A = this chain, B = another copy of it.
Amino acid sequence: MEIYKITPRGLENCRFDDMSREKGNRYWLLLTPEEMVNANGFFNFNSRTIDECLSNNQVPRLEVYESFSFGVINIINKEKDFILASELNFYLTSNYLIFVTKDSSSDMIKAVKDEIDGNSIDLERILYIFLDRLTASDNEILKDIEEDISDIEELVIKGENRDYIMDIVSLRKQLLFLKRYYEPLLDIAEGLEENENGLINEKSVRYFTILKDRIERLNRNVLNLRDYITQVREAYQAQVDINLNKIMKLFTVITAIFLPLSLIAGWYGMNFKYMPELSWVMGYPFAFLLSGIVIAICLIYFKKHDFI
């Protein structure tokens, strides 16, 4: 349990008892789910949201009640295959901003404290800084994905004969993951911007507008990258189809040359008593000639029809 009183000189450590006595000041609290349950005797939030603080795997969202807003946020480890790092719930009232999380000493929280430093700050600005940090490095992640797609595209165009499906599937999955990550974040930013219960002051709303616009840009970027990888996938699949045609053309040429030759050979392998060609002196050269003619006709025909 960490409690910070908001003072003109920045954050100031404070005990729960002091906080509960002094009315009128504003506080930022970092609680574990269990501490939240205990503290609720003082705050009196509805039991439903308290239950969600205790459970995991909740869907990220913002619920705007008359006197407070309640939020669920998933923190993602974007380096390690986008696995869920931790979940954070928050309450925002007119005087308290409560973060309910199991690891209050995470990098995210530390970075927020660093940015506040010794400045006087609104409660909603702390929330803004935290939400802003969540997507701070996402432009780089999207740029990495774009380069990966671009690499595959180049190989596909060059006709490098490899199986790209696995790479494409993996990139598409990452993009879908990000889309599903941004959509609820966008809802949360919009909900804070709309400010239906009036907890955020007019001036700060502007910051949530900028936050919302940024997440929208990120999401739009994801959608455009999906378009991009769709193009690459379709180009690859077209190459596969074109390759099949090339294979079948090669195959047809081979067959069309050897079947007639084999027929000639088989023909003069027949055992009829009365086959005049067999006893001709020029019979064997005649078979050669016949074979040559067949080959020539095939080559001319297939050349003309672009098979070879």
Q: Is the CB of B258 within 8 A of A259?
A: yes
- Confirm or deny: A201 has a beta carbon within 8 angstroms of a beta carbon on chain B: no
A245 to B275, CA, bound (A): 40
Q: Which of B235, B249, B263 contacts A258 (CB 8 A)?
A: B263
Chain A: interface residue count, which band? 35 or more
Does residue A144 face the partner (Cβ distance < 8 Å to B)? no
Asked if A25 is an interface residue, CB under 8 A from chain B, the answer is no
In Å, the complex CA distance between A59 and B218 comes to 10
Q: Is A82 an interface residue (CB 8 A)?
A: no
- List the B side residues contacting A59 at CB < 8 Å: 139, 217
Please tell me if the beta carbons of A240 and B245 are within 8 angstroms of each other in the complex.
Answer: yes
Contacts of A255 in B (CB 8 A): 251, 254-255, 259
28 contacts between A and B (CB under 8 A): A59-B139, A63-B210, A64-B206, A65-B206, A157-B165, A173-B228, A173-B231, A176-B231, A180-B224, A187-B217, A240-B241, A240-B245, A241-B244, A244-B248, A251-B251, A251-B252, A254-B256, A255-B259, A258-B263, A262-B266, A266-B269, A269-B269, A270-B284, A272-B278, A272-B280, A272-B283, A273-B283, A276-B284
Question: Which partner residue on chain B sits nearest A254 by CB separation?
Answer: B256
When all copies of this chain in the complex are counted, the total is 5
Residue of B nearest to A301 (CB): B250
Contacts of A281 in B (CB 8 A): 274
Query: Per-residue CB proximity of A224-257 to B under 8 Å, as 1/0?
Result: 1001100111111111111111011111101110
Apart from A180-B224, A272-B280: 15 A-B pairs, beta carbons within 8 A: A156-B169, A163-B242, A168-B235, A176-B227, A176-B231, A179-B227, A243-B245, A247-B252, A250-B252, A251-B255, A259-B259, A262-B263, A263-B265, A268-B270, A270-B287
Q: State whether the Cβ of A213 lies closer than 8 Å to any Cβ in chain B.
A: yes
Q: Which residues of B contact A266 (CB under 8 A)?
A: 262, 265-266, 269
Q: Is A183 interfacial (CB 8 A cutoff)?
A: yes
Note all chain B residues with C-beta closer than 8 A to A220: 183
Per the bound structure, the CA–CA distance linking A157 and B251 in Å amounts to 26
Question: Which residue of B is nearest A240, CB measured?
Answer: B241
Contact, CB under 8 Å: B306 / A161: yes
The answer to whether A169 and B184 have CB atoms under 8 Å apart is no
Whether the pair A244, B243 counts as a contact (CB closer than 8 A) is no
A66 proximal to B (CB < 8 A): yes
**Which residues of B have CB within 8 Å of A265?**
263, 266-267, 269-270
State the CA gap A101–B6 with chains docked (Å): 39
Given the complex of chains A and B, what is the CA–CA distance between A256 and B248 in angstroms? 12
- CB of A166 within 8 Å of the partner chain: yes
A213 CA to B169 CA, complexed, in Å = 31
For residue A137, CB closer than 8 A to chain B, the reply is: no
